[in-house]
Structure 1
């Protein structure tokens, strides 16, 4: 081997500095951190968050664009730049510039929850329709099986006080307290297969005493009167209590019958004969007088406009909240991001300790 080759071999094989032997690391048991106990599992490797930032940025840009479009549309609408047609729909009653038919949905259980299926929620929207001079008539889109009797009574009274024409469009169900409200309308549409009617009142008291006895549970109620605990379910009703509750139900039901008779222009006896507590099909309801005609929501809107003597109109939906939810926003934008992608992003951000409000 030449001297040059020996020199290269020596250069590449220079002795390395002697290193001190390192103490051998003892394996740490799972759940320890630097030798100290910790109530956490080893952290998984961090994943990149670039796609999350990109998704949020895209949604933010689209949101700004939508807000700008809505603002411009609102401005032009308030200036009267858009004519009103019978097929158009406005989402905000304050932007109306011509005759309109308002639509209020009564959907779900009649109760006190602040929605349009409650006295407070319905009255708030009725007041808007009453006070706006552009609203000439109202359509109630009803899809409810009833609910709290007192809530239905209050909503019925509010509808009686409404001065403009009211037409009901019945969806899959218009029963019990929902029908009591509907009976005050000037005209009722129903589908052929709608379950409508169910004029009746029910009260339920569950007796769990037999079950408690089998489980070895003994309950003592300390009351100011013998019947104070009659509805608690800890014992069976006495005959006197059962008669008392039956009389209460009969009184409430009688007001139901009278209200329907007044609203539908029928005699009390005619309505009482139909007050079986059962629903009828839409076809039968038209025959027995509980509804006027088979038809759709569009038919109800046209009828409301006819009763108000308007031929050119728009429609406006009145609801408890006018804010768009995320799904509506994605539909408007036509964004490629799916709800699953957005959900995954939010979960990952939450996992990283970020606060989303």
Structure 2
């Protein structure tokens, strides 16, 4: 007991404070209790946060999967089954590349243009995993020159790479679109497809009568008499009409010869079919403009067969999207392998697009 405690006991007549653990007088073995010391609160577990994040990620992947599934193609070949991925740069197995020609054949940079189609064909030519091409065609034609160029690109691709090209015709495969299709190794069509329409047209509109009714007078100052022949402000002369007709005939003859070469038909045989009208898919198979009635899946299977592939995947060849979008598409695919995902992430990391 300290001196201070003794002094307090003497002044206030208070007993000394009991020491914890000391025996209680007359308590028959009882002891003073130890003072209560509050225990530190247990640390809260943060496992629920990890679990919550995991659940959110699962729902995000499921949502991405539902969106991406709309663009996933799954084909079942006659020689084996095929799975689908997206992103030709990340292919790890043999594949059939699918290029869509959906719209007007023109110079717009899409796959319906010479520059757009050639870009995708060049990618397929340089990629060792892409063994064959399917052109999914749904077009009523367009610019004659664009069709001529695209036909040449398809023919050059097949001859230089040895990779087969198969056409799958949708609702319409006509005019310039058919000229392009004729250079493929095999053409599928639906029974109701409007296919063919081998022909060339030029339109010159004469609005001079309307201008006269409206009181509009137009003077064309030209360097030659026929320079304003296509302006629509006057009727064509007989000489001009004959000139344009000869031009159309010449361009159409090129069309006929291109189809004949591509389809392995005689020029006269094709010329007899060059009425400018379309045929049904049934008639096209009978007259030689198509090979078989079938679906896009049939076309993919045929392309794989011509390329001697028993197991393959399909990949869309189209203008490239972002790397992150491609990676999400791969992750959402139900049959994508871990190797494909690892390769995709390494590719992105090497490009400096993915940071830790």
Normalising by structure 1, what TM-score?
A: 0.68
1:3 maps to what in 2?
A: none
In structure 2, the residue matched to 1:125 is 120
Q: Could you say which residue in structure 2 is the equivalent of 1:143?
A: 138
Matched with 2:235 is: 236
Which residue does the alignment assign to 2:151? 156
Q: Which residue of 2 aligns with 1:11?
A: none
Shift of 1:87: 3.2
CA distance in 2, matches of 1:320, 1:204: 33
Name the residue aligned to 1:94: 89
Cα deviation, 1:127-179, whole Å, max 9, x if unaligned, reads 00000000100000000000000000010110011121000000000000000
More RCO (CA 8 Å, sep 6+): 2
Is the 8 Å Cα contact of residues 86 and 315 (structure 1) preserved in structure 2? no
SS in 2 for 1:320: coil
Partners of 1:246 and 1:147 in 2: how far apart? 19
Contact 2:138 2:169 in 1 (8 A): yes
Verify the 8 A CA contact 2:195 2:281 in the aligned structure 1: yes
Q: Secondary structure at the match of 1:247?
A: helix
Is 2:247 aligned against 1:248? yes
The equivalent residue for 2:272 is 273
SS class of match (1:88)? strand
| Count of aligned pairs between the two proteins | 254
Which residue of structure 2 aligns with residue 308 of structure 1? Answer: 307
Give the greater-gyration-radius structure (CA). 2
Whole-angstrom CA distance in 1 between matches of 2:207 and 2:81 = 57
CA shift at 1:321, angstroms? 4.0
Secondary structure at the aligned position of 2:169 is classed as strand
Q: Is the 8 A contact 1:114 1:121 kept in 2?
A: yes
1:200–1:277: 8 Å Cα contact kept in structure 2? yes
Output aligned runs, 1:205-220, within 5 Å.
205-220=204-219
Question: Which blocks of at least 5 consecutive residues in structure 1 are unaligned?
Answer: 1-60, 71-84, 334-357
Spell out the pairing of 1:48-127 with structure 2 (5 A cutoff): 65=60, 86-127=81-122
* 1:294 has 2:293 as partner: yes
The CA distance in 2 between the partners of 1:212 and 1:304, in whole Å, is: 56
For residues 175 and 220 of structure 1, the distance between their equivalents in structure 2, rounded to whole angstroms, comes to: 39
Q: Does the CA contact (< 8 Å) of 1:111 and 1:147 recur in 2?
A: yes
Q: 1:173 maps to what in 2?
A: 172
Partner in structure 1 of residue 260 of structure 2: 261
Cα offset, 1:86, TM superposition: 3.4
Shift of 1:65: 4.9
**3-state SS of paired residue (1:168):** strand
CA contact (8 A) 2:101 2:138 kept: yes
> 2:340 aligns to what?
none
Indicate whether 1:187 and 2:186 are aligned.
yes
Give the distance between the partners of 1:224 and 1:86, measured in 2 at CA.
65
CA apart distance, 1:322: 2.9
| Alignment equivalent of 1:134, drawn from 129, 132, 139 | 129
